[in-house]
Amino acid sequence: MAKPSTPKPKHIPMRRCVVCRESKAQAELIRFYRTESGWQLDEQGKAGGRGAWLCQKESCHEDKALKRFFRQDAGRIRETLERYKQETKAKSQESRAKRIRVAVGGMNV
Ligand SMILES: [Zn+2]
């Protein structure tokens, strides 16, 4: 029996968290970009300008940690992060509910 050919590993872009300095896959990080009025959340990860990446560890979202990099913007960044996390949580709950409905449908209930 012929072995299935192993697909080439995809190149995963890595980024470094500005707080803990750990490199992680870009998709796992949250991007901020610098504007004249301060740092803004870059939800699409596509905004131009100077960018800063933040990982999803709770310890990297604490005021003390954020201040090391974002300075006077830390408070606002923290609020933005909280809102962003609420939104992503709501989204993942929604998709879980969808999966459950599909599973139930498949059982001919
Ligand atoms: Zn981090």
Q: How far is the CA of 37 from the centre of ligand 1 (A)?
A: 24
Domains, the chain, in order of start with CATH, read 14-106 (3.30.1230)
Q: How far is the CA of 54 from the centre of ligand 1 (A)?
A: 6
Q: How far is the CA of 10 from the centre of ligand 1 (A)?
A: 24
**Residue 31: C-alpha distances to residues 5, 81, 107 (Å):** 36, 11, 41
CB 28 within 8 Å of CB 56: yes
Binned at pLDDT 50, 70 and 90, residue 98 comes out as: confident
Q: How far is the CA of 22 from the centre of ligand 1 (A)?
A: 6
Q: What is the pTM of this model?
A: 0.74
pLDDT in tens, 54-83: 999 999 999 999 999 999 999 999 999 999
Q: How far is the CA of 64 from the centre of ligand 1 (A)?
A: 13
Stretch 79-92: mean pLDDT? 91
pLDDT at 9 over 80: no
DSSP for residue 29: S
